Structure 1
Amino acid sequence: MKKKVYHWQPELSTAIIYWSCTFGILFLSLILTLEHTRPYLTSNIVLGIFIFFVFLGCNRYFIIDGKYLVVHALLPVRRKKITLSAIEAIRVGPKCIELKSCDFKEGTQMFIMTKKNKNAFIETIKQHKSFKATIIDDPELTISKHY
């Protein structure tokens, strides 16, 4: 059976920086294309780099695997495998969720998700027996962290 994945994006400032740089590569490719009237190898290589970074940017997701929540991130170093029992609380906002767990470096981590993905993720995680965290519906939760 295929495991369900729930796509997410990082906290707002990180997402803006990543996608701005990625689309900067696209615009560079388009500028190189305009310099020549026929197909140009350099612009096609830069366009390939853009497509690669789009693929990487969309490759962030959660998988609920038995007793674990696998947080698949862009860099292999930042990927985490958290036991569902280690999650202390989940705050659910209009456009994001915030997971509180001692396994995260700062204690909490915020994830931007679409409404459909967010609701499906919450419903699926509630069904697991090892999940004992509280789910807090917080309409005031914004998609950027406040320090």
Structure 2
Amino acid sequence: MIKLFGKIRYHWQPELSWAIIYWSLAITPIFIGMSLVYERARISNTIFILFFLFIFLFGIGLHRYFEIKEDHLLIASANPFVTRRLPIASIKKIEVTYLYIRICAPEFSKGKVFYMRKWPKKYFVNALALNPNFKGEIELIDHLIKQDYFEEYYSDKAKSVR
């Protein structure tokens, strides 16, 4: 979760295998550029091109986020020119697991999986559930397998309120 210019963004990643492939390809140019610097006594244009390619791929890789508006959910993917607007009222169910969330809506046939880290996922689900347009349900799928951090968070919050 990042607050940027007054907007709260909840970052996500694609499926783990795709994320590993993408980030491996994204950091490859910087390692090639560093090896070229090590091999040569001067810095060539190729090294600058590889460095800017790394910066570009790194920026695109961080461009995956959710943003909750009043009546819709903005889903930004790695393509900076395509953002999806999903009406919050159309979300039927959100399945929350230890690694990911699945959003079930008519726009997604079987539901769309978004991998998120623990705390952004918790804050995203909490903010979405508190939205007055949200009429769906939130289901914790594997909360008994691992530590239930939602219960732990709310118990800590209840202790601090008293």
- Work out whether the TM-score is over 0.5: yes
* Equivalent residue for 1:134, pick from 129, 134, 137: 137
1:89, CA displacement in angstroms?
Answer: 0.8
1:84-138 Cα shifts (integer Å, max 9, x gaps) = 011111111112111111112x431111111110011011011111101111101
Which residue of 2 is the match for residue 69 of structure 1?
Answer: 73
Report the Cα distance in structure 1 between the residues aligned to 2:47 and 2:69, rounded to whole angstroms: 41
Percent identical among aligned pairs is 32
| Map 1:96-135 → 2, pairs under 5 A | 96-104=100-108, 106-135=109-138
Q: Check conservation: 2:13, 2:114, Cα contact below 8 A.
A: yes
Letter of the 1:35 partner, please give it: E
Which residue of 1 is the match for residue 87 of structure 2?
Answer: 83
**Runs of 4+ in structure 1 over 3 Å off:** none
1:79, CA displacement in angstroms?
Answer: 2.3
For structure 2, list consecutive stretches of 5 or more residues without a partner in the other structure: 144-162
TM-score of the aligned structures, taking structure 1 as reference length = 0.86
Which residue of 1 is the match for residue 46 of structure 2?
Answer: 42
Provide the alpha-carbon RMSD of the alignment: 1.7
For structure 1, list consecutive stretches of 5 or more residues without a partner in the other structure: 141-147
Letter of the 2:135 partner, please give it: K
Q: Which secondary structure state, in structure 1, belongs to the residue aligned with residue 23 of structure 2? A: helix
Higher relative contact order (CA 8 A, sep 6+): 1
Q: Which secondary structure state, in structure 1, belongs to the residue aligned with residue 132 of structure 2? A: coil
Q: Which secondary structure state, in structure 1, belongs to the residue aligned with residue 63 of structure 2? A: coil
Task: Please identify the structure whose Cα radius of gyration is greater.
Answer: 2
Matched residue pairs, number?
Answer: 139
Report the Cα distance in structure 2 between the residues aligned to 1:46 and 1:114, rounded to whole angstroms: 30
TM-score of the aligned structures, taking structure 2 as reference length = 0.79
Letter of the 1:117 partner, please give it: P
1:22 aligned onto 2:26 = yes
* Equivalent residue for 2:37, pick from 28, 33, 38: 33
